[in-house]
């Protein structure tokens, strides 16, 4: 996560492509590590597998860290960034506060991943193999969603701020619809299709998350803004699943959990749309202050 926060420092020309590639490669790593961990557990037990995976991560941190080179964001006439001023700017921005609200309600996505297997095996009569297939469908479609967003960034007409906001918000909307449909259907192939939609939208959501945050905060404030956003998302992922589990115990089924996820993702979409509105409004006001019309691009300002 700290490395992703430093992406605007290292990249300028491909500043929007780099975060999307990072999120896509991360999905490839998860996809590749799953069978490797299973092989390690079969060969060395879970304790041995944990040691081997720890060694892999430690060596990856060491060797990947050697390619990081220092970048001096300051120079003559360019003072070091004031963190207090950054915090004041961020929490005075309606677009950023609504973006944080959208991130808060993103807990609907991990709830789907956590409870899908239990739902289909305990209340739909699916086998554990069928449950594993559904998870694989989610993972593959998530990877496809991330890869599609990477391709979008190589097309100038699609690599725009408005398109990124639209994808970010629509992914929440369709993921919420998929969660709401899950308790209704029993057929395996229909459920697999719902999982494919959910996984694809989750991939698009995660891939656009970094870019949209950068669009709202500007590259100069991205590290601080993305840190707060990650904190909010992490706290909800930590706190909400136990409450959802309690809800499932009370109703003795997982249907309320999926409905909760659907409502949360719908609210995330609504907050994201409002965030886009206020960000467009801010952009127009900056353009007017600089003497530009609404159809002119904003001037590029140096990082502060």
Q: Is pLDDT above 90 for 101?
A: yes
pTM value? 0.77
Q: Is pLDDT above 80 for 85?
A: no
Asked if 194 and 266 touch (Cβ cutoff 8 Å), the reply is: no
16 three-state secondary structure? coil
Asked if 279 and 164 touch (Cβ cutoff 8 Å), the reply is: no
The predicted structure's pLDDT at residue 258: 92
The predicted structure's pLDDT at residue 300: 44
Share of the chain above pLDDT 70, in %: 78
* Average confidence (pLDDT) over 37-43: 80
Q: What tens digit of pLDDT does each residue of 163-182 get?
A: 889 999 999 999 999 999 99
Name the packing angle between helices 108-123 and 255-289 (round to 10°).
160
Q: Is pLDDT above 80 for 94?
A: yes
Most confident of 3-17, 211-225, 247-261: 247-261
Helix boundaries (H) for the chain: 2-5, 7-10, 17-65, 83-91, 94-104, 108-123, 128-152, 161-181, 188-217, 222-251, 255-289
Asked if 21 and 206 touch (Cβ cutoff 8 Å), the reply is: no
* Average confidence (pLDDT) over 252-275: 93
Asked if 133 and 189 touch (Cβ cutoff 8 Å), the reply is: no
The predicted structure's pLDDT at residue 105: 93
Q: What tens digit of pLDDT does each residue of 186-212 get?
A: 888 999 999 999 989 988 888 888 888
Asked if 112 and 265 touch (Cβ cutoff 8 Å), the reply is: no
Q: Is pLDDT above 50 for 303?
A: no
Q: Is pLDDT above 90 for 291?
A: no
């Amino acid at each position: 996560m700290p490395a992703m926060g430093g992406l605007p420092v290292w990249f300028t020309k491909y500043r929007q492509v780099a975060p999307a590639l990072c999120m896509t490669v991360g999905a490839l790593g998860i996809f590749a590590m799953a069978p490797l961990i299973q092989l390690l557990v079969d060969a060395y037990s879970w304790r041995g597998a944990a040691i081997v995976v720890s060694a892999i991560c430690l060596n990856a941190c060491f060797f990947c860290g050697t390619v990081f080179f220092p970048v001096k964001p300051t120079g003559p006439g360019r003072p070091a960034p004031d963190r207090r001023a950054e915090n004041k700017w961020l929490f005075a921005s309606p677009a950023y506060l609504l973006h944080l609200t959208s991130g808060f309600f993103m807990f609907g996505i991990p709830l789907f991943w956590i409870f899908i297997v239990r739902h289909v095996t305990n209340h739909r009569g699916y086998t554990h193999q069928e449950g594993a297939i559904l998870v694989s469908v989610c993972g593959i479609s998530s990877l496809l969603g991330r890869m599609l967003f990477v391709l979008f960034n190589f097309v100038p007409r699609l690599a725009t701020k408005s398109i990124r906001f639209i994808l970010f918000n629509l992914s929440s909307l369709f993921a919420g619809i998929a969660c709401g449909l899950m308790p209704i259907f029993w057929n395996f192939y229909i459920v697999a299709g719902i999982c494919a939609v959910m996984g694809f939208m989750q991939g698009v959501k995660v891939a656009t998350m970094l870019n949209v945050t950068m669009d709202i905060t500007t590259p100069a404030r991205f590290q601080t803004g993305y840190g707060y956003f990650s904190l909010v998302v992490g706290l909800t992922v930590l706190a909400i699943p136990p409450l959802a589990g309690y809800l499932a115990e009370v109703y003795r089924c997982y249907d309320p959990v999926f409905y909760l996820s659907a409502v949360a993702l719908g609210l995330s979409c609504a907050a994201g749309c409002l965030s886009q509105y206020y960000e467009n409004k801010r952009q127009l006001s900056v353009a007017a202050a600089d003497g530009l019309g609404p159809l002119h691009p904003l001037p590029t300002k140096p990082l502060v």
